[in-house]
Structure 1
Amino acid sequence: MPYVRLSGIYFFYFSALGAFLPYWPLYLEGIGFDPIQIGQIMAIPAATKIVSPNLWGWLADHTGRTLRLIRWAAFSTFVAFCAVFWVRDYAGVVGVMLGFSFFWNAILPLFETITLGHLHGQAQRYSGIRMWGSIGFIAWVAALGKGLDGPFPVACLPQAVALLFGALWLNTLVVPSSGRENHGEGQGSLAGILKRPDVIAFFVANMLLQVAHGPYYVFFSVYLEEHGFDGAGIGQLWALGVFAEIVLFAGFHRLLRLASPRAILLGSLALSAARWLMIAWGVDHLAWLLIAQVLHAASFGAVHAVAIHLVHGYFRGPHHGKGQALYSSLSFGLGGALGSFLSGYGWEDWGPRGVYTAAAGCCLLALGVAWPRVGRSVA
């Protein structure tokens, strides 16, 4: 198994995410955008994720050239993002975000099928490769957070992101195809799978969880800055969350021996609600923020690892790529877009505490949706 080359894709993909996600709202604020505009702009990558993975997944299924499509998508991401160097107005930034995110959002769902093909059905080994994405994220979020207080002004953020998109594209050129993406027999039609109540509940619960993450991804850095944190402190708190995620991924195969995927999912949703309440009401108490960031291991890491496991169980053989695309588009896409968009308006009308409290309510609603059925039929 080409462990290093597979891990490299996750490393550079999530390094770019670590440079972009925590600090892009600060960059947008620095060039004059207000909270509603920032929320709208940050909703665009999630919105394109509703369409992009499904379209590119369909192309991969019909051409059988998944890896070639990944390489083209990575190259197009780099080229489209570089247009940001020539625009600073709202319409121009929106256009850049639409362009690069349409291609960027295609890469990961397609690559998940390549990775799982190389794993030969041993989905529990996935977390050992995926954790390198978290390592890349934490490295860049910490480095840029420190740099913002010194030699690296936020105005230089586009150069860092473009550099990482270029490295991601170059790394796709050395990854081998697994040759197994579409092998195996499906269990019934795709429509039949999607009509199952447990599958519907799975997608709804994950969508609600990502709605709850919207104010975190869009406004957490702004929230901390408003409460006196400098760039290094902001970066360290982001890094702590992802470090907890790395520990979770590294030990997830052991966790599966102690608890079922269903139990891990339900427990993680409950802890996610607690996390947003701590951020809402404990932002002035460092201890609460530290605990909340450690809970990123539950709200993202554990839920995502379980979701990959459940998608692998729900969508077999030729349906697997479509299942990964649907998981990405409905949860991170639709859920993320709604969370980002609504948090911009909520930030103005309800204030930060109201928005994060509403996020906790979304997690409890997700727990109620998942409790009756999700994961009962998948070991």
Structure 2
Amino acid sequence: MFQRLLRNGFGIYLRLSFFYGSYFLLAGLMLPYWPVWLQARGLSAEHIGIVLAIGYWIKIVVQPLIARRADSAGENRRIMSLLAVLVVAAMVGLTLGQGLWMIAILAVLLATLQQGILPLGESAVLAATRKHQLDYGRLRLWGSVTFIIAAVIGGAWLESFGAGNLVWLFIAAAALMAVGCTVMVADRRPPAAITWPEIGSLLARPSFLCLLAAAGLSQSSHAVMLAYGVIYWQELGIPEGIIGQLYGAGVIAEIILFALIGRFAGRISPAQLIALGACGGIIRWPLTALLADPIWLLPLQSLHALTFAATHLGAMAYLSKNIPTRLSASGQAVYAAIVGGVMIGAATFVSAAAYQRLGGDAYWIMGGFSFVGLLAAAGLAFTSARESRQAGSDDAGSAAPGRY
């Protein structure tokens, strides 16, 4: 009876939601507190920066390699479960490792393993939304919910038990993620011999290139906020508690959009969603440079629903509709590697130089990113329409897209 429950529509919804919740619980803990733990183990600020940078850039290589293996095998869940178990093992190894180099090596190994999970999970979720006509936004929102919960839990744990014991919280969250990967809905498809030229052919599609440019620029426009948002607001004299509320307001707005977007399924295209995200950035970032009063910054932060969530939803809708089923994991991985690795990584370097010279006025450059992203979204709309006319009524994935 329990197995039957897990296989019906509600059970599938629970399993997919649990995957997102468990994955982003760990991500929400590690984003703010991973550097804190590394510092407690004796790594200098320079060494921490190197470890984080390697973990950030390694996805460019790791994600396509793992995704190609999943597409060749025709199934994501087993590889996701293996990676998650290895993440737990690497976490446990961190408690035993002695010496800076050993900890640094294990930290990079951990990043390598963890980076491979999300593209496979996104691919499986999109396949399930197509098959069962589920609302992608209402699945993904649980990742945002647990991300907020993680920040609160991590802060309380740090205050109660100290930075050196954060690793035990990481291990518990990683174990929960392993459970989430194990109960994940299997995305089974015929095994196929996937070649690198076949994966590379995705980059020959004009619409895919426009997607990378449009979504990549919109997501990269967050670089100054992610790297220096807290520092800038502290320099303006905004209390830390208020800063926390500003970040929370953005995530809450993101959750609301994820919950409501299904009502507009079929009425708004991927290009239009990404264009909304770019328009949000054109408004959000220059005003962030100009405003210093939290009363105005609080509603301004609600534009995070557009700059992040609408852009992400548009990208997932495009990938669901346009990437061949046999390349579903590889398409996700190429997108994640280029947008989340190359473009956001480059934008982070740009933001560092810009903030050093311009301070808060660096947000104007992020507004420029959004403007160019809007132009790329127009290119996405044009190339998608042209490719659709050329292909007729056939979908690249040979399946009806789910609701986003």
Question: Under a length normalisation based on structure 2, what TM-score does the superposition of the two structures give?
Answer: 0.79
> 1:50: Cα distance to partner?
1.3
Alpha-carbon contact 1:145-1:233 (below 8 Å) kept: no
Q: Is 1:161 aligned to 2:170, yes or no?
A: yes
| Greater Rg by CA | 2
- 1:63-142 equivalence runs, <5 A: 63-85=73-95, 94-121=104-131, 125-142=135-152
Partner of 1:247: 256
Alpha-carbon contact 1:212-1:339 (below 8 Å) kept: yes
Partner of 2:270: 261
> 1:46: Cα distance to partner?
2.8
After superposition, what is the alpha-carbon deviation per residue over 1:272-311, rounded to whole angstroms, capped at 9, x for unaligned? Answer: 23222233333x3102331232111111111111101001
Alpha-carbon contact 1:42-1:341 (below 8 Å) kept: no
Q: 2:279 aligns with which of 267, 270, 274?
A: 270
After superposition, what is the alpha-carbon deviation per residue over 1:153-186, rounded to whole angstroms, capped at 9, x for unaligned? Answer: 5555443333211211133233342434879xxx
Q: CA separation in 2, counterparts of 1:38 and 1:215?
A: 19
Alpha-carbon contact 2:211-2:377 (below 8 Å) kept: yes
Alpha-carbon contact 1:43-1:341 (below 8 Å) kept: no
Q: 1:307 aligns with which of 291, 297, 315?
A: 315
> 1:88: Cα distance to partner?
9.9
Alpha-carbon contact 1:208-1:366 (below 8 Å) kept: yes
Partner of 1:325: 333
Alpha-carbon contact 1:114-1:181 (below 8 Å) kept: no
After superposition, what is the alpha-carbon deviation per residue over 1:115-144, rounded to whole angstroms, capped at 9, x for unaligned? Answer: 233334467622221111111112222444
Q: CA separation in 2, counterparts of 1:83 and 1:234?
A: 35
After superposition, what is the alpha-carbon deviation per residue over 1:227-267, rounded to whole angstroms, capped at 9, x for unaligned? Answer: 45565444433222211111111111113455333222112
Q: Report the AA paired with residue 9 of structure 1.
A: F
Q: 1:367 aligns with which of 374, 394, 398?
A: 374
Q: Is 1:211 aligned to 2:220, yes or no?
A: yes
> 1:354: Cα distance to partner?
3.9
Q: Quick check: 137-146 or 239-248, which moved more?
A: 137-146
Q: CA separation in 2, counterparts of 1:19 and 1:329?
A: 22
Q: 1:356 aligns with which of 359, 363, 367?
A: 363
Alpha-carbon contact 1:141-1:239 (below 8 Å) kept: no
Q: Report the AA paired with residue 307 of structure 1.
A: A
Note closer, same or farther for the CA distance 1:40–1:222 as it changes in structure 2 (3 Å cut): farther
Alpha-carbon contact 1:25-1:218 (below 8 Å) kept: no
Q: CA separation in 2, counterparts of 1:87 and 1:338?
A: 32
Q: CA separation in 1, counterparts of 2:338 and 2:110?
A: 19
Q: 5+ unaligned residues in a row in structure 2: which ranges? A: 1-8, 193-197, 389-400
Question: Under a length normalisation based on structure 1, what TM-score does the superposition of the two structures give?
Answer: 0.84
Corresponding residue pairs, total: 371
After superposition, what is the alpha-carbon deviation per residue over 1:189-242, rounded to whole angstroms, capped at 9, x for unaligned? Answer: 655543122221111222223332233333333444444556544443322221
Alpha-carbon contact 2:43-2:100 (below 8 Å) kept: no
Q: Quick check: 260-269 or 130-139, which moved more?
A: 260-269
Q: CA separation in 1, counterparts of 2:23 and 2:203?
A: 29
> 1:24: Cα distance to partner?
4.3
2:315 aligns to what SS in structure 1? helix
Q: Is 1:6 aligned to 2:16, yes or no?
A: yes
Q: Report the AA paired with residue 332 of structure 1.
A: G
1:161 aligns to what SS in structure 2? helix
Partner of 2:347: 339
1:371 aligns to what SS in structure 2? helix
Alpha-carbon contact 2:219-2:307 (below 8 Å) kept: no
Q: CA separation in 2, counterparts of 1:336 and 1:291?
A: 25
Q: 5+ unaligned residues in a row in structure 1: which ranges? A: 184-188
Q: Quick check: 7-16 or 201-210, which moved more?
A: 201-210
Q: Quick check: 354-363 or 25-34, which moved more?
A: 25-34
Alpha-carbon contact 1:23-1:221 (below 8 Å) kept: no
Note closer, same or farther for the CA distance 1:365–1:156 as it changes in structure 2 (3 Å cut): farther
Alpha-carbon contact 1:275-1:295 (below 8 Å) kept: yes
Partner of 1:280: 289
Sequence identity of aligned pairs in percent? Answer: 26
Q: CA separation in 2, counterparts of 1:226 and 1:82?
A: 38
